[in-house]
Amino acid sequence: MASYIDIAVNLLGSALEPDIAQIVQAAADQGVSPLIVIGSDLTESAAAIQLCQNYPNQLYCTAGVHPHHASLWQTDSKQIQADLCLAPQVVAVGECGLDYNRDFSPRPAQRQAFITQLELAIELQKPVLMHERDAHSDFLSIVSEYRPHLRGALLHCFTGTRAHMEAYIDLDLHLGITGWVCDERRGQELAELVPFIPKDRLLIETDSPYLLPRSMRPKPKSSKNKPEYLPYIAQYIANLRGENPAEFAKQCYKNSLAFFNLSQHNG
């Protein structure tokens, strides 16, 4: 059976939280292990570290402040985040970035929190897991400035245009692709772009419980997306790229191990 790493799972603060043990096991049964648990604010990041301690080698996490929560950023936030990032379970700084679609936090606060977290990733020499929605121009200018010093930079849940994709690849970013690509209404443009992402820059994710792949048959009874569906997404992307699904899965797994520096766990 192929091995997969789901690089973005919202296990905490979501509809998945009540069923964590069952979700981790069901994913592992499909070869999806470990899972990377997203920390979207400092409290959740601390909880994610504790959760990962209960599932050694099965769960790792990020520690960061999502742009939705950027207005909570305070003078001591960077130090708190730095301490969290020293936990061995934390494999990336983030989720951080810009979201001008919802504007849950004022844009200047988003930019400040994002820049500070990029600086932290550079200081700690940890990769960064980033979010961008309807903020391409500001995102690009900020990331361009810091990219030369970052150990690794991943834009998760990429759904942009060809021009966006080319700009991000020029910056040597990794791009995370979700089941959005399986949506014949919204995902059409992404489906056309996926074949042009260099194979060593591509990572796959569910972003569960969100973005359940619309093309799954039989349709899951629950509308919740789960990490166990990652092999379906992988096969779908492999088909779009005209690649052998097993080879594609192997490449994505290798990319994920390298990006998150998990190679020592490759049993």
Residue 14 reports pLDDT greater than 70: yes
H/E segment holding residue 8? strand 4-9
State yes or no: 83 annotated in a binding site: no
Neighbours of 177 (CB within 10 A): 28
**49, 89 contact by CB (below 8 A):** yes
What six digits make up the tokens of 157? 């849940």
End-to-end CA distance of the chain: 14
pTM assigned to the model: 0.96
Quote the pLDDT of residue 264. 46
CA-nearest of 159, 116, 153 to 134 is 159
Provide the phi-psi class of 97: left if phi over 0, else alpha when psi is between -120 and 50, else beta: left
State yes or no: 95 annotated in a binding site: yes
> How many Å apart are CA 69 and CA 143, to the nearest integer?
19
Quote the pLDDT of residue 267. 37
Q: How many domains does the structure of the chain reveal? A: 1
Segment 206-233 shows an average pLDDT of 94
**205, 6 contact by CB (below 8 A):** yes
Quote the pLDDT of residue 87. 97
**CATH number of the domain where residue 67 is located:** 3.20.20.140
Residue 223 reports pLDDT greater than 50: yes
Domain span at residue 196 reads 4-265
State yes or no: 123 annotated in a binding site: no
Segment 61-73 shows an average pLDDT of 97
Tens digits of residue pLDDT in 77-103: 999 999 999 999 999 999 999 999 999
Neighbours of 106 (CB within 10 A): 11
> How many Å apart are CA 233 and CA 192, to the nearest integer?
15
State yes or no: 41 annotated in a binding site: no
Segment 214-234 shows an average pLDDT of 94
What six digits make up the tokens of 202? 């591509």
CA-nearest of 159, 139, 18, 12 to 67 is 139
Mean pLDDT of the chain: 96
Top pLDDT among 231 and 219 is at 231
Neighbours of 238 (CB within 10 A): 20
Q: Exposed e or buried b for every residue in 149-166, given b needs 16+ CB within 10 A?
A: ebebbbbbbbbbeeebbe
Quote the pLDDT of residue 157. 97
What six digits make up the tokens of 218? 């039989």
